């Protein structure tokens, strides 16, 4: 947590010494991930830079609690790289700055949606979080009956339905949802 605040402040203030420390400590791990997933040095540098820009933009706008800077940065890099791979088409021309800004904006919006969802998900009861996590990760109703010691499949279905309904209610009742929904329509 201590380094987290130091790193975020350094990024926002442009402290070259600490930014070089971030590159030397964390970039090799990100580069290794990119290399093992069909990327090269340029890809790794672009992803790392875009992730740092994302952190600067979002943390200037609204400071959020980040427990582990390294883990947070890794997840952002991973999301950026996955999106890049998904949209990758062999191009012979160089992408323009405008395209990169649009891509970064999309990534920022997607990351904000993920963070918003997780914030609402964490408001659920422990039981709801557990059962929905299992369900969303592909567990069948039959498996949930055994895992959570419910009496019937129908009971599990009702519990999943109630938990999902509660999550949807939490999401839709938040004013932030309307903003996100509006931005997603563009």
Distance CA 178, CA 134 (A): 28
Describe the chain by its helix, strand, coil percentages, rounded to 5: 80, 0, 20
- DSSP for 74-131, please give it: HHHHHHHHHHHHHH----SSPPPHHHHHHHHHHHHHHHHHHHHHHHHHTTS-HHHHHH
Tens of pLDDT, residues 37-92: 888 999 999 999 988 888 888 888 877 777 888 888 888 898 888 888 777 654 43
Contact 77, 51 (CB under 8 A): yes
Tell me the pLDDT tens digit for each residue of 102-155.
667 677 777 777 888 888 888 999 999 888 888 888 888 898 888 888 889 898
Is 12 exposed, middle or buried (CB count within 10 Å of its CB: 0-12, 13-18, 19+)?
A: middle
If pLDDT is split at 50, 70 and 90, which confidence band does 166 have? very high
Give the Å distances, CA to CA, from 149 to 11, 145, 183.
49, 5, 42
Judged against a pLDDT cut of 90, whether residue 28 lies above it is answered with yes
pTM of the model: 0.51
Residues 44 and 30 sit within 8 Å (Cβ to Cβ): yes
Q: Are 144 and 150 in contact (CB under 8 A)?
A: yes
């Amino acid at each position: 947590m201590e380094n987290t605040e130091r790193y975020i402040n350094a990024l926002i203030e442009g402290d070259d010494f600490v930014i070089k420390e971030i590159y030397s400590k964390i970039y090799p791990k990100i580069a290794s991930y990119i290399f093992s997933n069909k990327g090269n040095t340029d890809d790794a540098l672009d992803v790392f830079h875009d992730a740092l820009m994302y952190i600067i933009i979002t943390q200037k706008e609204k400071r959020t609690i980040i427990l582990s800077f390294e883990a947070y940065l890794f997840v952002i890099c991973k999301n950026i790289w996955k999106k890049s791979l998904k949209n990758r088409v062999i191009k012979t021309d160089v992408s323009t700055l405008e395209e990169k800004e649009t891509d970064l904006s999309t990534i920022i919006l997607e990351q904000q949606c993920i963070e918003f969802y997780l914030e609402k998900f964490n408001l659920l009861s422990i039981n709801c979080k557990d059962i929905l996590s299992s369900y969303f990760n592909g567990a069948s109703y039959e498996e949930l009956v055994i895992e959570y010691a419910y009496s019937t499949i129908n009971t599990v279905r009702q519990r999943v339905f109630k938990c999902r309904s509660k999550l949807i209610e939490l999401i839709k009742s938040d004013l932030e949802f309307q903003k996100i929904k509006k931005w997603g329509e563009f």
